[in-house]
Every structure is written in C-alpha cells, then in structure tokens.
C-alpha cells in the first residue's frame, strides 16, 4: 500500500493516495426505468392557437405573487451540521499537512476537475493539485446518490471524455450511479487520483502580492502556495435547508437528499419528503416502491414533462465504435439547438440534429416585443400540455389541481418523468399541498400543516442547494484584502467571462456566476472554460508573464452585458425560483443568459488581449 503522500522520483512532484474506501455496500441504485405505456410517454396534443393572453398572464402573476417572500433557507450549521457528514466513504486517510508549492491548485474533483486534469496534463501542465471535500471523485455525482437519480441531459452529450475512454452509457439518461462510475473511470484512466487530496476542504485562499502566489489553507492543516487557483467546485454545491420552526425537535430520522442515508431502512416506514424540485421528482417514484406511507410536502409543483428513457442500442454501440470522436461531434450538434425542450429531450436518433435557429427563420425580422410574445406563447402552449398531462394521469381532481404549475416553461427547472405523476394515484402516497407558503411547522413527531399533524418515522429534506454560490466566495481574499463576496456584495457581481474577477489575479472560476449557462449542457460550458484556461496559461508562458488580472473597463462592460441580457430575457423566467435568487437577485448576478455572445466576448479578448493586464516575470 502506497503512503498517502510520496515523492515521484522522476518528476520530484508529490503523488497522493488519499481516495477513501466506500462506506457501505448498501449504497446502490438506479435511475429512470424504461416505461412502455405510451399514455405515460407522450404529452397530450398542443392546444391549437392558445395564447398567453391577459387572463392567463394574470393567473401566472397571482401564482408568483402568492409565493413572494415565502422561500426561507438556512445553511447547515450548529445542530444541522450533521446533515453535511460524508455518509458515502470511510473516514479520511490520515496524512501529513502540506506546506509546499504547486503551479495550479484546483478546488473540486467533479466533472470540472476531472476534465481540467485530462486537458491540462495533455497540454503539458502537470504540476497540478486538486482539493476535494468528498472521499472520491464525482462532485455532484458523489454527493447525490438518492434512489432514482439520473442525468437530465442525454448522457451521450453530458458525460465528459466518452471518446477518450471508449465508454458508451447504457441508457439515454444514465443513472447517477453509472455517472459516478464514469467519473472513477476518468480518474483512473488519466491518473487523477495521484493528484487529488480527498477529504480536504479549502478554508482560506489569500493572494500574496510579494510572491505572486495564492496561499491556500485547508481543514487538514495544509498551507499550500499556488501560482494559479481554479475554482471548479460547481454551481449547486452547498446544500441548504428550508428554515422551518421546530425542525430541531423532530425525533425521527432525517437527512438531506444530497447525503442519502442508506443505513436507514425505509421499508414499510412512514416517510415524509419536503420539496418537489428535480431531486424529489426523481426520488419519489422510487421511495413509493419501498415505504409504507409517503407524504410529499409540496409548495410549488414542478413541470413534469415526458422522459422517454431508452436503452442504448447495439446498433448505436457498433456505429459509434467505428466513428472516432462521435461523442464530441454529437455534443457539438446539440450545442447548436437553442430551443431548451428540444435540446433536453435530445431526439437525435437519426444522428441529424437540425439547427433550430435556422429552421425558425421568419419572413421578416421580428421586433424584440414580437419575438418575446412568440416565445411566451409557445412556452404557454407547452405548459398547457404539461398541465393537461396532469389531468390525463391523476385520478383525484384535488391532487391534479395541486400538481399543475403556472409559470413559463423553464422558469423553474424543467423536470422529466414517466413514473412521477402515476405515483400520486397510489393509495399510500399522499400529496400535502402547502402552497403558497410551504411547510411552516415541524414537531417531535412530524410535520404539521394547517392544524393537521403528519406523524413520520423519517423526514427527508429535498430542499436544494445554493445556486451559483459556494461557501468559498467569502474565503478568497484578493489584492485589496477584500473577499470575493465583499467585492461582489458592494460592487455587484463583476467578472470577465465569469472566469476572471479584477483584483483576484490568477484566480479562475469555472461555470460560476456570469460564466455558466451559456449552454443548457453544463458539460459544454466546462469544456469551453477548460480550453480557455489552457489558452490563457499558455499565453502567459509565451509572454513570460506570471500574473494575469483584468482591466476595470472590460469587466464593467461584461457585467453590464450580463445585466442587459438578463433583463431582456426576464419575462421568460417570470416566477420565484432559485435561478433568480427567489426573486431577489440583482439582474445579471447569477447565471449567464447571453448564449453564444459569451463566445464573441471571448474571441475578441483572445485576439486583442486588451482586457488583460499581464505582469510578473515567469522566471
Ligand atoms: P430545488 O429545485 O431547489 O427544490 C427545492 C424544493 O424545496 C422546492 O420544491 C421548494 O419549493 C421546496 N421547499 C423549500 N422550502 C419549503 C418549505 N418550507 N415547504 C415546502 N417546500 C419547500 O432542489 P433540488 O430538487 O435538489 O434540485 C436542485 C437542482 O439540482 C435542480 O434544479 C437541478 O439543477 C439539479 N438536479 C439535477 C438533476 C438531474 O439532472 N437529473 C436531478 C436533481 C437535481 P419552491 O419551488 O416553492 O421553492
């Protein structure tokens, strides 16, 4: 057995062996089933000519306004810190604290970290170190292992490095467990494990102007120096809890979906789940298969579109095996689809995705208002189909009414499932409609709503994650001594391409605020960001520069652009959602809605180099 830290005699670099063993063999699961019943896999017909008229708009507005201010979340601190425990791995591998230097330190061992390593090492950057909070790779797919978990972007375009590993996912929408295995495959194939410090959380990152290095401190007592720090720790990383009076009193078992406790046997139990977002939609059908009684506490219904799951065919496997680069080509075709639903359903069976932008050309150029109205009308018609699907499947009219969402498509994260709605027809599954304010009381025995007590053995929080913000932002101190959170708190979120932020030299943020979301497939964004970072570090090598920062003017201009596109497209997302900070975020401060304009900004910057301030001397 290799020690946790040793020196490679050839390169002189440290090699790590800190991957933790699995905590339990009970942690296994599946994703979406293939559903044969055609009634469940097709949406009812599009209502002809339906428009998003004044009456419907008023209904949407009322639905939104009733929820304003209802969302109240809290971090997992104090008595709730236990919800953050790593339940998937054995305790951390003991190791010495590191007090040394590396060229590039990356925070995160998920898709971002794994892809960065493959690309960086290919480009000749080998002095790279990763810090990962979990006991193994996977990030999102390490932490989220609830029953039913699967990706919602087709796996052939979503899983990174399929061409390079020769792997073909078994299903169109692979289960989270298969995706985690693919992460391990990528790590093994490209030697990632040697470079990663697992069970290591970065606690402080401070710029030292004199040495031109970041000082990175961790919860393992490390104090490492790095020329570059890359944040690849995800967009929905930090789990959050709904703040509900009395929740600390509950005497049964409880956990958050991102730390699913497989040691608790749910069979035959009275189980409650709070929340009906993308996670709950996938978990509920699987829970219903094992528990005694299931109580679903819903504040806002998700839009439940068809899933259309299927197994990868033998023909596909054979064809793709003969086509080097098939996955890259497929991902590129997908990236050209601008229409969200078409993209997410991803029907590329013939391998000939149409360019939707071209197909939708109009006789004359539409005004901005006309285009917006057209988009709102088609969103409305699709939501009508989604609501009609609820009526077609759900037997109890009261339950059906509660399950119908009234907001534009995609305003909250669209979900897809062919088993979710039928679950509510089962006699032991109970929808508790807590709209519009949500669950507001928990006691020793369970959840109380409108004077009715729901006694529970187990309570599951499916209450989501902090969006576009990780706990790292308030622990990174740049040139002025201010933290990133302080800078953005006073000036508003300001980045260049979402990747740089002025005053924080040599710090790169992958898929963060103003950077991600240019594509519906975050894997695309990670690829684009990784390519950009490699270009940047190679450019610096060529120029002999050791430090890069960005100028104020291009950063301001880019932040202004993010604000403008957010405002221009806001009617399409007019509801209360984590996407818009529950209705409170400043426009342009979270996800990026400018699509391909990100590429335009990037290409201009790469050709003129005008936004950058290069400094230092590499030697
Ligand atoms: P989420 O979408 O943020 O859902 C949290 C849920 O908790 C919402 O339904 C929310 O209701 C509800 N809630 C909060 N406080 C409540 C209260 N007091 N009473 C009742 N309900 C309450 O979180 P998530 O489902 O974990 O999903 C997070 C994101 O992870 C997804 O949107 C997606 O981006 C990603 N994800 C992806 C996949 C996939 O690709 N397959 C699967 C799972 C998750 P309101 O809507 O009223 O706020």
Q: What is the pLDDT of residues 123-160, one digit of tens each?
A: 999 999 999 999 999 999 999 999 999 999 999 999 99
- The response to whether residue 244 sits with its C-beta less than 6 Å from ligand 1 reads yes
Q: Report whether 327 contacts 163 (CB < 8 A).
A: yes
Biggest distance spanned by C-alpha atoms of the chain: 73
DSSP three-state, residue 38: helix
Per-residue confidence band for 236, with pLDDT thresholds at 50, 70 and 90: confident
User: Which DSSP state fits 500?
Assistant: B
What average pLDDT does the segment 510-517 reach?
86
**E strands, 41-195, in order:** 73-74, 101-107, 128-131
- The response to whether residue 407 sits with its C-beta less than 6 Å from ligand 1 reads no
Give the range among 272-286, 436-450, 466-480, 527-541 with minimum mean pLDDT. Answer: 466-480
What average pLDDT does the segment 568-591 reach?
93
- The response to whether residue 462 sits with its C-beta less than 6 Å from ligand 1 reads yes
In sign, the C-alpha dihedral spanning 209, 212, 218, 224 is negative
Mutate to test the pocket of ligand 1, among 463, 521, 580, 591 (most ligand atoms within 8 A of CB): 463
> For position 547, what pLDDT does the model report?
98
Q: Which two three-digit tokens encode residue 282?
A: 């996938």
| d(C-alpha 615, C-alpha 545), whole Å | 5
Give, rounded to a whole angstrom, the gap between the first and last alpha carbons of the chain: 38
C-alpha separations of 114 from 136, 521, 528 in Å: 12, 17, 14
Phi-psi region of 514 (alpha: psi -120 to 50; beta: other; left: phi over 0): left
Q: Report whether 158 contacts 181 (CB < 8 A).
A: no
| d(C-alpha 346, C-alpha 340), whole Å | 10
Give the range among 174-183, 512-521, 550-559, 563-572 with minimum mean pLDDT. Answer: 512-521
Per-residue confidence band for 289, with pLDDT thresholds at 50, 70 and 90: very high
User: In the chain, pLDDT over 70 holds for what percent of residues?
Assistant: 95
Q: Which two three-digit tokens encode residue 128?
A: 């790279």
- The response to whether residue 192 sits with its C-beta less than 6 Å from ligand 1 reads no
Q: Which two three-digit tokens encode residue 204?
A: 């402080």
- The response to whether residue 237 sits with its C-beta less than 6 Å from ligand 1 reads no
Q: Report whether 565 contacts 593 (CB < 8 A).
A: yes
Per-residue confidence band for 356, with pLDDT thresholds at 50, 70 and 90: very low
Per-residue confidence band for 350, with pLDDT thresholds at 50, 70 and 90: very low
- The response to whether residue 516 sits with its C-beta less than 6 Å from ligand 1 reads no
- The response to whether residue 120 sits with its C-beta less than 6 Å from ligand 1 reads no
Q: Report whether 409 contacts 303 (CB < 8 A).
A: yes
C-alpha separations of 38 from 35, 308, 424 in Å: 8, 10, 18
Give the range among 30-39, 236-245, 468-477, 533-542 with minimum mean pLDDT. Answer: 468-477
Per-residue confidence band for 451, with pLDDT thresholds at 50, 70 and 90: very high
Predicted model pTM: 0.96
- The response to whether residue 276 sits with its C-beta less than 6 Å from ligand 1 reads yes
Give the range among 51-60, 419-428, 587-596 with minimum mean pLDDT. Answer: 587-596
Q: How far is the CA of 275 from the centre of ligand 1 (A)?
A: 6
Q: Which two three-digit tokens encode residue 101?
A: 């230097």
Mutate to test the pocket of ligand 1, among 299, 300, 412 (most ligand atoms within 8 A of CB): 299
Q: Report whether 537 contacts 125 (CB < 8 A).
A: yes
Residue nearest to atom 12 of ligand 1 (CA): 275
234: Cβ contacts below 8 Å, ≥ 6 apart: 108, 110, 112, 139, 140, 470, 511
- Pairing type for strands 253-256 and 547-550 reads unpaired
Per-residue confidence band for 30, with pLDDT thresholds at 50, 70 and 90: very high
Kindly give the number of the ligand 1 atom that is closest to the alpha carbon of 73. Answer: 15
In sign, the C-alpha dihedral spanning 368, 413, 154, 23 is positive
Q: How far is the CA of 614 from the centre of ligand 1 (A)?
A: 42
**Average model confidence (pLDDT) across the chain:** 93
> For position 308, what pLDDT does the model report?
86
Mutate to test the pocket of ligand 1, among 83, 257, 277 (most ligand atoms within 8 A of CB): 277
Half-sphere exposure of 210 (CA within 13 A, CB side): 1
Q: What is the DSSP string of 414-446?
A: -EE-SSHHHHTTSTTEEEEE-TTT----B-SSE
Q: How far is the CA of 578 from the centre of ligand 1 (A)?
A: 8
Q: Please give the backbone phi and psi of residue 85, each rounded to the nearest 5 degrees, phi first.
A: -55, 145
- The response to whether residue 274 sits with its C-beta less than 6 Å from ligand 1 reads yes
Q: What is the DSSP string of 555-592?
A: HHHHHHHHHHHHHHHGGGG-S--GGGTTTTSPTTSSS-
Kindly give the number of the ligand 1 atom that is closest to the alpha carbon of 464. Answer: 23
DSSP three-state, residue 225: strand
- The response to whether residue 32 sits with its C-beta less than 6 Å from ligand 1 reads no
- Determine the length of the chain: 619
- Pairing type for strands 547-550 and 128-131 reads unpaired
| d(C-alpha 413, C-alpha 107), whole Å | 26
| d(C-alpha 449, C-alpha 433), whole Å | 9
> For position 361, what pLDDT does the model report?
61
Per-residue confidence band for 365, with pLDDT thresholds at 50, 70 and 90: confident
What average pLDDT does the segment 472-476 reach?
83
Q: How far is the CA of 367 from the centre of ligand 1 (A)?
A: 35
Per-residue confidence band for 619, with pLDDT thresholds at 50, 70 and 90: low
| d(C-alpha 447, C-alpha 441), whole Å | 6
How many Cβ atoms sit within 10 Å of the Cβ of residue 182?
24
Residue 63 has pLDDT above 70, yes or no: yes
- Pairing type for strands 458-461 and 304-305 reads unpaired
In sign, the C-alpha dihedral spanning 576, 578, 580, 584 is positive
Give the range among 6-10, 233-237, 255-259, 466-470 with minimum mean pLDDT. Answer: 466-470
- The response to whether residue 190 sits with its C-beta less than 6 Å from ligand 1 reads no
Q: Report whether 522 contacts 457 (CB < 8 A).
A: no
| d(C-alpha 580, C-alpha 464), whole Å | 14
Q: How far is the CA of 87 from the centre of ligand 1 (A)?
A: 21
- Pairing type for strands 101-107 and 73-74 reads unpaired
77: Cβ contacts below 8 Å, ≥ 6 apart: none
> For position 235, what pLDDT does the model report?
84
Kindly give the number of the ligand 1 atom that is closest to the alpha carbon of 176. Answer: 41
What average pLDDT does the segment 47-76 reach?
94
Residue nearest to atom 37 of ligand 1 (CA): 278
| d(C-alpha 98, C-alpha 95), whole Å | 9
Residue nearest to atom 45 of ligand 1 (CA): 300
Q: How far is the CA of 557 from the centre of ligand 1 (A)?
A: 33
């Amino acid at each position: 057995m290799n020690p946790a830290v040793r020196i490679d005699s050839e390169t002189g670099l440290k090699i790590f062996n800190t991957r933790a063993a699995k905590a339990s063999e009970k942690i296994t699961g599946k994703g979406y089933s293939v559903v044969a019943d055609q009634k469940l896999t097709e949406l009812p017909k599009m209502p002809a000519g339906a428009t998003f008229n004044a009456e419907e708009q008023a209904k949407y507005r009322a639905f939104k306004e009733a929820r304003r201010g209802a969302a109240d979340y809290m971090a997992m601190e104090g008595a709730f810190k236990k919800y953050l425990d790593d339940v998937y791995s054995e305790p951390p591998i003991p190791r010495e604290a590191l007090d040394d230097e590396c060229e590039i330190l990356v925070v995160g061992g998920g898709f971002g970290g794994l892809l960065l390593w493959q690309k960086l090492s290919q480009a000749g950057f080998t002095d790279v170190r990763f810090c990962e909070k979990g006991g193994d790779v996977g990030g999102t797919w390490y932490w989220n292992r609830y029953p039913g978990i699967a990706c919602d972007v087709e796996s052939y375009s979503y899983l990174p490095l399929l061409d390079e590993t020769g792997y073909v996912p078994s299903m169109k929408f692979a289960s989270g467990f298969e995706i985690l295995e693919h992460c391990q495959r990528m790590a093994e194939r490209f030697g990632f494990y040697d470079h990663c410090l697992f069970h290591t959380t970065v606690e402080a990152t401070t710029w030292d102007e004199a040495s031109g290095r970041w000082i990175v401190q961790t919860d393992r007592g490390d104090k490492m120096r790095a020329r570059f720090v890359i944040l690849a720790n995800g967009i929905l990383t930090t789990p959050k809890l709904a703040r509900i009076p009395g929740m600390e009193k509950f005497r049964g078992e409880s956990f958050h979906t991102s730390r699913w406790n497989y040691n608790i046997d749910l069979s035959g139990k009275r189980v409650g789940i709070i929340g009906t977002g993308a996670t709950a939609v996938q978990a509920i059908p699987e829970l219903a298969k094992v528990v005694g009684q299931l109580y679903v506490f819903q504040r806002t219904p998700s839009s439940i579109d068809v899933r259309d799951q299927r197994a990868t065919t033998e023909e596909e496997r054979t064809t793709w095996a003969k086509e080097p680069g098939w996955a890259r080509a497929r991902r590129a075709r997908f990236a050209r689809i601008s229409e969200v639903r078409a993209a997410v359903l991803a029907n590329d069976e013939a391998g000939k995705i149409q360019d939707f932008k071209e197909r939708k050309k109009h006789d004359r150029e539409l005004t901005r208002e006309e285009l917006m109205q057209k988009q709102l009308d088609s969103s409305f018609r699709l939501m009508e189909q989604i609501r009609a699907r609820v009526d077609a499947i759900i037997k109890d009219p009261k339950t059906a009414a509660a399950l119908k969402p009234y907001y534009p498509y995609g305003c909250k994260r669209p979900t897809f499932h062919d088993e979710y709605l039928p679950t509510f027809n089962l006699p032991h599954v109970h929808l508790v409609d807590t709209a519009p304010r949500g669950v507001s009381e928990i006691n020793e025995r369970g959840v109380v709503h409108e004077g009715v007590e729901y006694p529970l053995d187990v309570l599951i929080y499916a209450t989501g994650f902090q969006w576009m913000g990780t706990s790292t932002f308030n622990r990174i101190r740049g040139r002025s001594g201010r933290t990133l959170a302080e800078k953005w708190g006073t000036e508003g979120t300001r980045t260049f391409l979402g990747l740089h932020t002025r005053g924080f030299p040599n710090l790169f943020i992958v898929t963060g605020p103003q950077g991600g979301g240019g594509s519906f497939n975050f894997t695309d964004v990670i690829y684009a960001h990784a390519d950009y970072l490699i270009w940047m570090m190679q450019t610096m090598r060529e120029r002999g520069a050791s430090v890069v920062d960005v100028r104020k003017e291009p950063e301001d201009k880019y932040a202004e652009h993010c604000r403008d596109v957010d405002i221009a497209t806001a009617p399409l997302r007019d509801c209360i959602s984590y996407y818009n900070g529950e209705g409170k975020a400043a426009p342009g401060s979270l996800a990026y809605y400018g699509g391909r304009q990100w590429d335009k900004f990037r290409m201009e910057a790469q050709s003129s180099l005008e936004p950058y301030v290069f400094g230092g001397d590499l030697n």
